[in-house]
Structure 1
Amino acid sequence: MPSKGVKSFRTRQDKQKMIERLKKKTHFSKLEIEKLLEMQRKLSTRGNKIDRSKFRDLLHNTFAITEDFIMDRVFKAFDKDNDSHLNEEEWILGMSVFLRGTIDELCKYCFDVYDMNSDGFISREEMFHLLKQSLIVPGNEQDDPDDGVKDLVEVALKKLDQDHDTRVSFEDFKTSIHDDNLLLECFGRCLPNLPRKESFLEQIADEAHLKK
């Protein structure tokens, strides 16, 4: 029995150390992290990790992000070790940026979502694919819808391509967003809208407050 008690204590101690570490690296309070960890455990399907399907359900039902391709890219941005599951740290760090990120953190997050092959650039082809997936381009039945998307790609390049090399680097993207924050989600919505975000944060804060 004593050894079991020691093991339990060490487990709680390890958890508290992890929470303190995450508190220093995120925009969450200790109680908010505890609540998010509880949520992570409920969403987990294997080895205390969230799989792609559960995460997509959360994005769709809680944050109204509905585009299949974008949901997969958001999951990829959270999944730093590329094991197709989100562990506790990936979940907390990802949600910190997703819900309370600074403008620089959000620039990096959105860029990673849009940089489909992770080569450090958003290419003309990637822009075309993202815009085609995310937008309905107006036109009559005789128009080729791809032409409208191509026009939007050219507009995006003029706005974002600071060094005129026909692709968008992270520095291009960051500079453009600092000039005009409305460009942040220019290739598809990958962040929660304000009402959904505030509702989620209020839920965490309210339930965390009850533990005080």
Structure 2
Amino acid sequence: MNRKKLQKLTDTLTKNCRHFNTYEVNCLVSLFYTLVGDVAERPGAVTGLDRNAFRNILHMTFGMTDDMIMDRVFRGFDKDNDGCVNVAEWISGLSLFLRGSLEEKMKYCFEVFDLNGDGFISKEEMFHMLKNSLLKQPSEEDPDEGIKDLVEITLKKMDHDHDGKLSFADYEQAVREETLLLEAFGPCLPDPKSQMEFEAQVFKDPHEFSYDM
């Protein structure tokens, strides 16, 4: 992409971005096109990061290991559901992912955890996510029972209107009382260390970025 086009794209994306300045957007756009690489040159190819490339970044850079959660994070970024994260989705997604306010992060995490998109996190959804994200401990007991207990404990703590499922209002109230509950059902945001490393490296020189930080 030539300099003039890149400048125009950076300006447009910066206008719509709350948490990055022009220099940072420029670095992230450069990184995006480095990551997308030769794919963009193929005729008819969608310019973007497909699910696998994106999950690779989540795994190698931000230490995510849970397939279900990584899949949900990809969907959170891929707003138009075309199976690719384009450059605008990349910038707006990272803006929230790395620097979002508590309000933005609550909304984002809730959408990640609301697997069927009905506006509630049900017992079944909690069970699936907790089963996925907890380390399998070899023991005599049925691990599913332990997870069911954990779901009940979590509901007791977070379900303020006692209807057996979590609405966004329930979730928001619980997180405001106890911020640790933001990622109650699985790590879907970067931990502070990998976030700092990513920013330090990318905003210094995006061309030197490597997956395995």
Q: Deviations over 1:119-165 (max 9, x none)?
A: 11100100000000111365732x11110000000011011111111
* Pair 1:27-2:27 in alignment: no
Report the CA distance between 1:10 and its aligned residue.
7.1
For the 8 Å contact 1:122–1:168, the answer to whether it is kept is yes
SS in 2 for 1:165: coil
Aligned residue in 2 for 1:120? 119
Tell me which of 2, 11, 33 is aligned to 1:41.
33
* Pair 1:197-2:195 in alignment: yes
Aligned residue in 1 for 2:211? none
* Pair 1:180-2:178 in alignment: yes
Aligned residue in 2 for 1:161? 159
TM-score normalized with structure 1 length? 0.87
> Quick one: structure 1 residues 130 and 17, their matched pair in 2 at CA, closer, same or farther if it must change by over 3 Å?
same
> Quick one: structure 1 residues 10 and 110, their matched pair in 2 at CA, closer, same or farther if it must change by over 3 Å?
same
Amino acid at match of 1:194: P
Q: C-alpha distance in 2, partners of 1:200/1:153?
A: 34
Q: C-alpha distance in 2, partners of 1:176/1:28?
A: 29
Report the CA distance between 1:191 and its aligned residue.
1.1
Q: C-alpha distance in 1, partners of 2:54/2:145?
A: 34
Structure 2 stretches lacking a partner, 5+ long: 40-44, 207-213
Moved over 4 A (4+): none
Q: CA RMSD in A?
A: 1.9
> Quick one: structure 1 residues 17 and 166, their matched pair in 2 at CA, closer, same or farther if it must change by over 3 Å?
same
For the 8 Å contact 1:137–1:149, the answer to whether it is kept is no
Amino acid at match of 1:11: K
Structure 1 stretches lacking a partner, 5+ long: 1-7
Q: C-alpha distance in 1, partners of 2:104/2:4?
A: 34
> Quick one: structure 1 residues 204 and 9, their matched pair in 2 at CA, closer, same or farther if it must change by over 3 Å?
closer
Q: C-alpha distance in 1, partners of 2:5/2:95?
A: 24
Report the CA distance between 1:206 and its aligned residue.
2.3
For the 8 Å contact 1:79–1:90, the answer to whether it is kept is yes
Aligned length: 198
* Pair 1:108-2:107 in alignment: yes
Report the CA distance between 1:75 and its aligned residue.
0.4
Q: C-alpha distance in 1, partners of 2:10/2:203?
A: 19
Q: C-alpha distance in 1, partners of 2:182/2:74?
A: 18
Amino acid at match of 2:28: L
Q: C-alpha distance in 1, partners of 2:8/2:30?
A: 16
Task: State how 1:74-153 maps to structure 2 within 5 Å.
Answer: 74-136=73-135, 140-141=139-140, 143-153=141-151
Q: C-alpha distance in 2, partners of 1:140/1:12?
A: 56
Between 37-46 and 83-92, report the one with greater CA deviation: 37-46
* Pair 1:11-2:10 in alignment: no
Report the CA distance between 1:12 and its aligned residue.
5.1
> Quick one: structure 1 residues 125 and 205, their matched pair in 2 at CA, closer, same or farther if it must change by over 3 Å?
same
For the 8 Å contact 1:19–1:34, the answer to whether it is kept is no
Report the CA distance between 1:51 and its aligned residue.
0.5
Q: C-alpha distance in 1, partners of 2:142/2:6?
A: 60
Which entry has the higher C-alpha Rg, 1 or 2?
1
Q: C-alpha distance in 2, partners of 1:52/1:20?
A: 25
SS in 1 for 2:183: coil
For the 8 Å contact 2:31–2:202, the answer to whether it is kept is no
